[in-house]
């Protein structure tokens, strides 16, 4: 009896091993989604995508990683430490070119495009008590410009340069993510924060309900000096508490990017499920209301992943 039982155990073990060996590769698919700070917009959208992919890609295991956003995300992708990343369009362009000053030591040639998603708006918010009402009023003031070499910080440098100023003109420059910047403002330790994000970002909603603030305009002529991929845009009145007027500013399109060695099937599924689940993304954050399939390829700074291209051909956006 013991001998028969042992044979059965060994047979079951052997069959189990064979099943593991013969399982298709996609059953072990791992998708790490690189986002940004937890109070930004990339993060809730990334959480939603992780659930969608986990629910609809057979055998997929998903993870959402909070990061310093654009620049870090692109470098992590190039290193094979992520499968999908959010990033600002200018960061993607600079990564492809290998702009060392922007945080890319060499051209990141493994990057491949998935989709243009929604625009980020440069949002400069100052404590009302600081007296800051315009860009020139930032001179001599303390400002947080985003995490070091983040997409936001790249935006800050571009806007300041076009306005004929730089960090040297500030009394103090802080390089902090959104939530930390807001905390410093609440504690009266800095005068203003520049945040590049979708409209209604949680950090600025929190700030505007906690203290009186001014939204600082970025005039259209300044945006024109910066040039593409920046475009003139408007922060609509009442986006934040106490903001009773439209505020002109600059906008930059965000992209979802993958890497060349992600399988064509996974890239196809990530692209298809992205556009098939817009309602869920819009529930996660109102910024996704600006996402439109017809704009998915506009201004793409890197080559499309073949898997994404297959989806867009099916939709008639590519021939």
- List pLDDT tens digits, range 24-63: 334 458 999 999 999 899 999 999 999 999 999 999 999 9
Question: What are the CA-CA distances from residue 262 to residues 68, 74, 238 (Å)?
Answer: 23, 14, 42
pLDDT of residue 28: 59
Q: Where are the alpha helices (DSSP H) in 81-150?
A: 89-97
pLDDT of residue 26: 41
Please compute the mean of the pLDDT values over residues 101-112 and round it to a whole number.
Answer: 96
Assess whether pLDDT exceeds 70 at residue 147.
Answer: yes
For the packed helices 151-162 and 70-78, what is the interaxial angle rounded to 10 degrees? 130
**28-119+253-314 and 120-250, same CATH topology:** yes
Q: Phi first, then psi: give them for residue 3, nearest 5 degrees.
A: -65, -45
Going from N- to C-terminal start, the domains of the chain cover 28-119+253-314, 120-250
Which of 109, 83, 73, 92 has the alpha carbon at shortest distance from 269? 83
- Would you state the structure tokens that stand for residue 5, as one six-digit string? 């039982």
pLDDT of residue 55: 97
Judged by average pLDDT, the poorest of 30-34, 48-52, 228-232, 280-284 is 228-232
Please compute the mean of the pLDDT values over residues 238-257 and round it to a whole number.
Answer: 96
Burial of 317 (0-12, 13-18, 19+ CB in 10 A): middle
Please compute the mean of the pLDDT values over residues 214-230 and round it to a whole number.
Answer: 94
- What stretch of H or E contains 84? strand 84-88
In angstroms, how far is the first alpha carbon of the chain from the final one? 68
Mean pLDDT of the chain: 91
Q: Where are the alpha helices (DSSP H) in 57-173?
A: 70-78, 89-97, 151-162
Euclidean distance between CA atoms 99 and 106, whole angstroms: 7
Cα dihedral sign for 138, 139, 143, 146?
positive
Euclidean distance between CA atoms 72 and 53, whole angstroms: 23
Q: Which residues neighbour 248 within 8 Å (Cβ) at sequence distance 6 or greater?
A: 217, 218, 219, 220, 232, 233, 234, 235
Euclidean distance between CA atoms 313 and 273, whole angstroms: 15
Q: How many CB atoms lie within 10 A of CB 59?
A: 13
The CATH architecture annotation of domain 28-119+253-314 reads 3-Layer(aba) Sandwich (3.40)
pLDDT band at 90; cut points 50, 70, 90: very high
Buried b (16+ CB within 10 A) or exposed e, 60-73: bebebbbbbbbbbb
Buried b (16+ CB within 10 A) or exposed e, 222-231: bbeebeebbb
Q: Concatenated DSSP letters for 157-183?
A: HHHHHHTT--GGGSSEEE---HHHHHH
Domain boundaries 120-250, corresponding CATH code: 3.40.190.10
Please compute the mean of the pLDDT values over residues 3-13 and round it to a whole number.
Answer: 43
Question: What are the CA-CA distances from residue 15 to residues 10, 22, 314 (Å)?
Answer: 9, 11, 41
Assess whether pLDDT exceeds 50 at residue 150.
Answer: yes
């Amino acid at each position: 009896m013991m001998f028969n039982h042992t044979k059965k155990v060994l047979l079951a073990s052997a069959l189990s091993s064979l099943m593991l060996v013969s399982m298709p590769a996609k059953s072990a698919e791992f998708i790490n989604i690189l986002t940004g700070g937890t109070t930004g917009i990339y993060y809730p959208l990334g959480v939603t995508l992780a659930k969608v992919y986990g629910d609809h890609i057979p055998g997929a295991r998903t993870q959402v990683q909070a990061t310093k956003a654009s620049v870090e995300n692109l470098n992590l992708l190039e290193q094979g430490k992520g499968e999908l990343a959010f990033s600002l369009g200018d960061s993607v362009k600079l990564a492809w070119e290998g702009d060392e000053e922007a945080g890319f030591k060499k051209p990141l040639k493994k990057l491949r495009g998935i989709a243009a998603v929604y625009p980020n708006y440069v949002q400069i918010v100052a404590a009302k008590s600081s007296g800051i009402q315009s860009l020139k009023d930032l001179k001599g003031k303390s400002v947080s410009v985003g995490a070091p070499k983040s997409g936001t910080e790249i935006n800050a440098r571009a806007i300041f340069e076009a306005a004929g100023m730089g960090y040297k003109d500030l009394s103090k420059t802080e390089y902090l993510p959104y939530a930390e910047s807001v905390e410093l403002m609440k504690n009266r330790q800095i005068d203003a924060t520049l945040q590049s994000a979708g409209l209604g970002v949680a950090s600025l909603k929190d700030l505007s309900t906690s203290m009186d603030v001014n939204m600082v305009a970025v005039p259209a002529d300044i945006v024109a000096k910066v040039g593409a991929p920046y475009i003139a845009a408007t922060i609509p009145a009442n986006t934040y508490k106490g903001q009773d007027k439209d505020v002109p500013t600059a906008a930059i399109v965000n992209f979802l990017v993958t890497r060349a060695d992600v399988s064509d099937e996974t890239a196809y599924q990530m692209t298809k499920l992205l556009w098939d689940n817009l309602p869920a993304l819009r529930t996660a954050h109102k910024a996704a209301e600006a996402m439109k399939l017809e704009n998915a390829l506009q201004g793409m700074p890197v080559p499309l992943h073949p898997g994404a291209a297959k989806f867009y051909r099916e939709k008639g956006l590519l021939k």
